[in-house]
């Protein structure tokens, strides 16, 4: 993009010089044609870049599917903020960077936003996302706790805190936050992930029947969260319910064979059918 923009700047400067030249009047038609050509070129290149941006987003989504256990899916809406001495520009940039998977770039932009507008709730929340998705859990926890101090009913911040506590193996606090998100039931996505992460908490604690209950509730709310099939199968398997586990993995693969977790269901199914362990 740098070389392309530099080339256009050269053309713009050349056209500006022609317009300032004494013979500009006699070259009026030629300058018009050059301006039209410049405009068409810009439109085409911008369209091509927009298409490539969408392709890049699709690659980011594929990359997200490679992670071993999905963090809460980024669902924060595009921010609409009043400008605080330029802070809104950095908040918008932070949201865009997270959406594209550039979490370090988002952290940088949102840190700048908070220097310009300290305690801005949107910037704090988005910075929490950026840090969490980089696995900087202690720093992310601090940001989300700031959000919850102002907005105790923020269900998305609540499940993110629960997820971080799960990753840090602080299971009691994870259960407290995730259960509260379920009671709030103010955001369908938050409720879905609260059930799923509670299932993971109980699976980590070898409380397999409790884990099964929460994974089954997860699939009742969001049958497209294929990872829940994979984890439910594991909860059955480690509880000695081998046939239920096999059927769950078959169902997960059948639900979406192109999803990374659908493929993992097929892989673990093949492993255990050959005498291996999940």
Q: What is the dihedral of CA 159, 164, 167, 169, to 10 degrees?
A: -90
> Exposure of 244 by Cβ count < 10 A (0-12 exposed, 13-18 middle, 19+ buried)?
middle
**Confidence at residue 75, expressed as pLDDT on a 0 to 100 scale:** 59
Both tokens of 68, joined, read 């071993």
Q: What is the dihedral of CA 39, 42, 43, 44, to 10 degrees?
A: 120
Residues 248/255, Cβ–Cβ less than 8 Å: no
**Confidence at residue 149, expressed as pLDDT on a 0 to 100 scale:** 93
What's the number of CA atoms in the CB half-sphere (13 Å) around residue 31?
16
Name the least confident of 14-23, 104-113, 239-248.
14-23
Local confidence band at 87 (pLDDT 50, 70, 90 cut-offs): confident
The C-alpha angle 103, 105, 111, rounded to 5 degrees, equals 100
Res 114 pLDDT > 60: yes
Candidates 176, 177, 184, 122; CA nearest to 153 is: 184
**Confidence at residue 2, expressed as pLDDT on a 0 to 100 scale:** 67
**Confidence at residue 68, expressed as pLDDT on a 0 to 100 scale:** 45
* pLDDT tens digits, one per residue of 163-184: 999 999 999 999 999 999 999 9
Residues 266/257, Cβ–Cβ less than 8 Å: yes
Sorted by where each begins, the domain ranges of the chain are 222-278
Res 85 pLDDT > 70: no
Name the least confident of 10-19, 57-66, 244-253.
57-66
Average pLDDT, the chain: 87
pTM of the model: 0.70
Which residues fall within 8 angstroms of residue 13, CB to CB, at 6 or more apart?
none
**Confidence at residue 1, expressed as pLDDT on a 0 to 100 scale:** 54
> Exposure of 256 by Cβ count < 10 A (0-12 exposed, 13-18 middle, 19+ buried)?
middle
Residues 147/167, Cβ–Cβ less than 8 Å: no
Res 69 pLDDT > 80: no
* pLDDT tens digits, one per residue of 223-270: 999 999 999 999 999 999 999 999 999 999 999 989 899 999 999 999
Angstrom distances, CA of residue 52 to CA of 58, 61, 63, 66: 10, 14, 16, 22
Helix (H, G, I), strand (E, B) or coil at 27: coil
Say how far apart CA 150 and CA 91 lie, in whole Å: 19
**Of residues 97 and 67, which shows the higher confidence score?**
97
**Confidence at residue 78, expressed as pLDDT on a 0 to 100 scale:** 61
Helix (H, G, I), strand (E, B) or coil at 106: helix
User: What's the length of the chain?
Assistant: 278
Res 62 pLDDT > 80: no
């Amino acid at each position: 993009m740098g070389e392309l923009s530099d080339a256009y700047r050269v053309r713009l400067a050349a056209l500006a010089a022609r317009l300032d030249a004494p013979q500009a009047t006699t070259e009026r038609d030629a300058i018009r044609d050059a301006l039209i050509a410049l405009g068409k070129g810009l439109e085409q290149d911008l369209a091509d870049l927009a298409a490539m941006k969408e392709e890049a987003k699709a690659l980011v989504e594929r990359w997200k599917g490679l992670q071993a256990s999905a963090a809460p899916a980024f669902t924060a809406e595009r921010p609409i903020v009043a400008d605080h001495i330029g802070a809104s520009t950095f908040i918008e940039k932070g949201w865009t960077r997270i959406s594209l998977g550039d979490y370090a770039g988002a952290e940088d932009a949102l840190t700048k936003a908070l220097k310009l507008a300290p305690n801005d709730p949107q910037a704090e929340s988005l910075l929490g996302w950026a840090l969490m998705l980089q696995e900087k859990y202690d720093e992310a926890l601090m940001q989300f706790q700031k959000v919850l101090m102002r907005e105790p009913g923020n269900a998305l911040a609540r499940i993110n805190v629960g997820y971080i506590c799960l990753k840090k193996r602080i299971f009691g606090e994870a259960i407290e936050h995730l259960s509260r998100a379920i009671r709030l039931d103010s955001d369908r996505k938050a409720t879905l992930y609260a059930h799923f992460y509670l299932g993971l908490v109980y699976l980590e604690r070898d409380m397999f029947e409790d884990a099964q209950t929460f994974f089954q509730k997860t699939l009742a709310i969001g049958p497209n969260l294929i990872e829940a099939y994979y984890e439910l199968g594991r909860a059955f398997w480690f509880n000695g319910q081998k046939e239920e586990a096999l059927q769950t993995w078959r169902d997960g693969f059948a639900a979406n064979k192109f999803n990374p977790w659908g493929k993992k269901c097929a892989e673990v199914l093949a492993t255990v059918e050959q005498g291996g362990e999940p």
